Amino acid sequence: MKIVTDPQELQRQCLVWRNAERTVGLVPTMGFLHAGHTALMDRMRPECDRMVVTLFVNPTQFGENEDLSNYPHDFEGDCAKAEAHGADLLFAPAPDAMYAPDHATWVEVPELGRHLCGASRPIHFRGVCTVVTKLFNLTRAHKAVFGQKDWQQLAILRRMARDLNMPVEIIGHPIVRESDGLALSSRNAYLTETERAAAPAIRRGLLNLRETVRAGQRNAGAARAALKEEYASTLPMGEVDYIEIVDPADIVPMEDISGPVLAAVAIRLGKARLIDNILIEV
């Protein structure tokens, strides 16, 4: 596995592969790799001839008072995991290699970013879209894979690629969970023992909401209220950022449930902000 820190070197290598008619696959990450990340690599590996894994804690997607300075790191461990799961190249740039001091160009899909995480993190998806566009330009990837835990991010990136005619196939991978149902996240490392023991209630609440809808509840407001009440009982130390039921493609909140919907939540537990979702077929 080759380790690259210079964007131009990454671009040169990927152009060599493309000119040799090799299929390039991209797995973007912010590092501190866990089983969710390695599942993305395992999903991509059969899809491509050359696999690029990126480790970059992108500063432009963090707002004020967020955890940029404290985001967990394990570069040596990440390198070992990426190599073990078939990465041909690991791209780990410094922030100033990706953003010039006078950087002034942004990519965003504002309509899909108004709700869910975008409501409380207003610059987040602008940063995500911009850095992913850079990675697509640098790698000329044929395919890229993203986890469905960040469903809104996945929907936004698919719309961005469609609207800007980016020649890349974006693959969504199902959420990878702990045995007790907690969605894997690098931010789980922030949880105290007590918070970690309580956190699986997030998933249980979503499963209960799904059963409520399947049993005939079609009023999204009532379903949201019931889940909020459940979390008040099962996660008393948690702070609800949002509980929403949205259209899975447009990320627009629904009032009447008449077709497939996405139930999505964000809960703050201590230092961690945890997100999860469930697709409900009606």
| Residue 8 counted as an annotated binding residue | no
Closest residue by Cα to residue 93 from 48, 49, 125, 139: 139
| Residue 118 counted as an annotated binding residue | no
| Residue 228 counted as an annotated binding residue | no
At which residue do the structure tokens 């979390």 appear?
231
| Residue 74 counted as an annotated binding residue | no
| Residue 196 counted as an annotated binding residue | no
| Residue 148 counted as an annotated binding residue | yes
| Residue 104 counted as an annotated binding residue | no
| Residue 32 counted as an annotated binding residue | yes
For the chain, what percentages of helix, strand and coil (3-state, to nearest 5) are there? 45, 20, 35
Cα distance between residue 140 and residue 144, in whole Å: 10
| Residue 63 counted as an annotated binding residue | no
CB distance 14 to 38 below 8 Å: no
User: For residue 89, what is the DSSP state?
Assistant: E
Sequence-ordered alpha helix ranges (H) in the chain: 7-19, 35-44, 75-84, 95-98, 117-120, 124-139, 151-163, 193-198, 201-214, 220-234
Quote the distance between the C-alpha of residue 107 and its chain's center.
Answer: 17
At which residue do the structure tokens 């948690």 appear?
238
Catalytic residue among 37, 85, 142, 173: 37
- Tell me if residue 142 is catalytic: no
Q: Which two tokens stand for residue 228?
A: 């909020």
How is the beta sheet containing 239-246 ordered, strand by strand? 239-246, 261-269, 272-280
| Residue 103 counted as an annotated binding residue | no
| Residue 238 counted as an annotated binding residue | no
| Residue 61 counted as an annotated binding residue | yes
The residue type found at 261 is: V
Q: Which two tokens stand for residue 109?
A: 């899909």
| Residue 120 counted as an annotated binding residue | no
| Residue 11 counted as an annotated binding residue | no
Cα distance between residue 205 and residue 228, in whole Å: 9
| Residue 34 counted as an annotated binding residue | yes
| Residue 233 counted as an annotated binding residue | no
Closest residue by Cα to residue 71 from 95, 97, 47: 95
**Which residues form the catalytic set?**
37
Residues within the annotated binding site? 30-37, 61, 147-150, 153, 176, 184-187
Residues within the annotated binding site for (R)-pantoate? 61, 153
Residues within the annotated binding site for ATP? 30-37, 147-150, 176, 184-187
Residues within the annotated binding site for beta-alanine? 61
